[in-house]
Amino acid sequence: MSQVERLQWDVVVVGAGGAGLRAAIEAREQGARTAVICKSLFGKAHTVMAEGGIAAAMGNVNDHDDWRVHFRDTMRGGKFLNQWRMAELHAREAPDRVWELETWGALFDRTADGRISQRNFGGHEYPRLAHVGDRTGLELIRTLQQKIVELQQEDHRELGDYEARLKVFQECTVTRIVKDADGKVCGVFCYERESGRFFVIEAPSVVIATGGIGKSFKVTSNSWEYTGDGHALALLAGAPLLNMEFVQFHPTGMVWPPSVKGILVTESVRGDGGVLRNSEGKRFMFDYIPDVFKEKYAESEAEGDRWYDDPDHNRRPPELLPRDEVARAINSEVKAGRGSPHGGVFLDVSTRMPPDVVRRRLPSMYHQFKELADVDITAEAMEVGPTCHYVMGGIAVDSDSAAARGVPGLYAAGEVAGGMHGSNRLGGNSLSDLLVFGRRAGLHAARYAAGLDVRPVVDEGQVDAAAAEALRPFSAEAPEEGAPPENPYTLHQELQQTMNDLVGIIRREPEMAEALQKLAELRVRARRAGVEGHRQFNPGWHLSLDLRNMLLVSECIARAALERTESRGGHTREDWPGMDRRWRRANLLCRLADPTGGLAATDPVRGQIRLEREETEPIRPDLLALFDKEELVKYLSEEELHE
């Protein structure tokens, strides 16, 4: 029997970003004893980096806005592949979640008459993003942390212990979900990063809220935590991942200097009036308005510019098309030789706003460029290009309860969950997603735990196996006698390069096949990734464990991308350039090839993932009635239109 320490809680939330904290608050408020575990410092989740704002149809700046318009925009942005019930719940509930944040102490920017201000963003018909300058994520996390502290103070007053009902385990990483003999969740296996100590948190409900996968790509806006852990944990626990081919490349990341390549340049720069130009000075986005959006976007610069002051009588500029469209356009301009000196295009606010307005509305951007690139954005244009930003694919969940499919006791919310954004997420729709579905996940996880007569019992064999798996890098076999084991950093670099070059923004069949081949080789080598030293704060060891997750997630992306023979949202096939209405009804599910959750039993060369196709659920008629028939014809399949 394993000597690993055990702790008992009702709900354990893995991840302390917006989704995890909102889930934890809800679970605790429902009366569940709730543990939150995060691999970074408490308060340093990826959500902190969110800049532009949180989308909610409050109608503060334009009173034509309401949840139906938000729902329509979200479905259009996702090219109708969204799990429509999630898009509906999200649009209906987002305003309440923002107002709730305000009652918990969030200080949003205000309109002249004192309401929460809302700004324009790509794909949103009306100004809809509540914001705090370009530091919205920081305020969101600060507020949620403050709420957690408030709940802990309440517990101290009542029970004499701050951590009686809500405790945060920071700088601890979960490597496995543990289940009982019947396949029910019964906790998580973790290690403390500083000491290397193993422990198990036993809990009948686990909420995964671990964010994204960007660190599998070389150029990314994502922080170090984004190694696809939650996606892999769910797969290994037996839950499928949905539509993993959809990866969002944000159109505007920094391209220069090389050390900061990929860092995000927020979409609010364009929402507030910034324009994109090529090396010839042309506002090229007017040449890239796809047919499905033609009626909604300005035909001339003059009309686009008028829209900022009179949105009711003009159409928006094409710089505010959804992200997938803008990223592809930039890619094409650079490829055609009309790029900026460092391989991007120009994004200019300096000729559009006075310097003091730029500094006030975009303070982080001003400092980011000044300090990292020595560029004064009030006086010159920025150079920008696409960067891997967000994964739309994720754990397949029930829309209402956030329960992961097929694994009792497992829930998922936030970027790690799939379905909400379809094939492409609109800016601002993530922060609202975190709050809407974080709350729902916490609620249902707490109810599930409370409703059990008997708690599932941890299978000791699984704990021993998890401990052995985590220790393997210390005794890795060398590839050949006398040679050192594989270096995890080298493997990571090769993986990132492979995904960037072969499964990136524009995809081709032979390249994806090559990527799968390369991933197979990397998988074999990763089994021999070795580290020196001991378990006390050993980043090489941590990376070797993260590699398992990145390889699993990368294989899911490459396999699903090869399978989907069309271009839609965050999946662009050069060999299948158009959107194919027949694919609208198809979801691609990735499952672990070995259904028992083992990796050793799967053939490391053939692959670890098996793909399944399933038909999407028909969209409810009253929601379809929100769209014009002519628009539906562009998206829906023949049978759907017929029905």
Which is nearer to ligand FAD, 147 or 277 (by Cβ)? 147
Tokens read off for 473: 């890098």
- Cα separation, 327 vs 570, in Å, equals 10
Burial (CB count within 10 angstroms: exposed 0-12, middle 13-18, buried 19+), residue 603: exposed
- CA-nearest of 9, 5, 8, 131 to 58 is 131
- Residue 97's φ and ψ, nearest 5 degrees, are -70, -35
Shortest separation between residue 42's beta carbon and ligand FAD, angstroms? 8
Q: What letter would DSSP give residue 47? A: G
Strand positions, DSSP E, 443-523: none
Which amino acid, one-letter code, is at 642? H
Is residue 389 annotated as a catalytic residue, yes or no? no
Partnered with residue 589 across adjacent β-strands are: 242, 612
For this structure, is 270 an active site residue?
Answer: yes
Residues found near ligand FAD in the complex (CB under 6 A): 14-20, 37-40, 45-47, 49-54, 136-137, 173-174, 209-211, 221-222, 225, 229, 264, 390, 414-416, 427-431, 434
Which is closer to ligand FAD, CB of 485 or CB of 504?
504
Q: Is the peptide bond before 257 cis (omega within 30 degrees of 0)?
A: yes
The H-assigned helical ranges of 374-459 are 429-450
The nearest distance, CB 130 to ligand FAD, in angstroms, is 10
- How many CA atoms lie within 13 Å of 605's alpha carbon, on the beta-carbon side? 0
Pick 193 or 581: Cβ nearer ligand FAD: 193
The smaller minimum CB distance to ligand FAD, of residues 211 and 393, is found at 211
Considering the complex, what minimum distance in angstroms separates the CB of residue 477 from ligand FAD?
25
Which CB atom, from 122 or from 204, has the smaller least distance to ligand FAD? 122
In this complex, which beta carbon is closest to ligand FAD, that of residue 210 or of residue 544? 210
Specify the residue, 37 or 178, whose C-beta has the smaller distance to ligand FAD: 37
Helix or strand holding residue 551 (H, E): helix 539-563
Catalytic residue chosen out of the listed positions 176, 270, 444, 585: 270
Strands 382-391 and 345-348: antiparallel
Q: Which two tokens stand for residue 370?
A: 């000044």
Sign of CA dihedral 619, 621, 626, 627: positive
Question: CA 214 to CA 391: how far, in whole Å?
Answer: 8
User: How many other C-beta atoms are found inside a 10 Å radius of the C-beta of residue 294?
Assistant: 10
| Residue from 128, 176, 231, 250 carrying the catalytic annotation | 250
**Residue among 139, 157, 291, 210 nearest 631 (CA):** 291
Q: Could you give the dihedral angle defined by the CA atoms of residues 614, 615, 617 and 622, in that order, rounded to the nearest 10 degrees?
A: 160
d(CA 240, CA 520) in angstroms, rounded, equals 21
Q: Which of 16/465 has CB closer to ligand FAD?
A: 16
Alpha helices in 362-428 (DSSP H): 363-373
Residues assigned a catalytic role: 250, 270
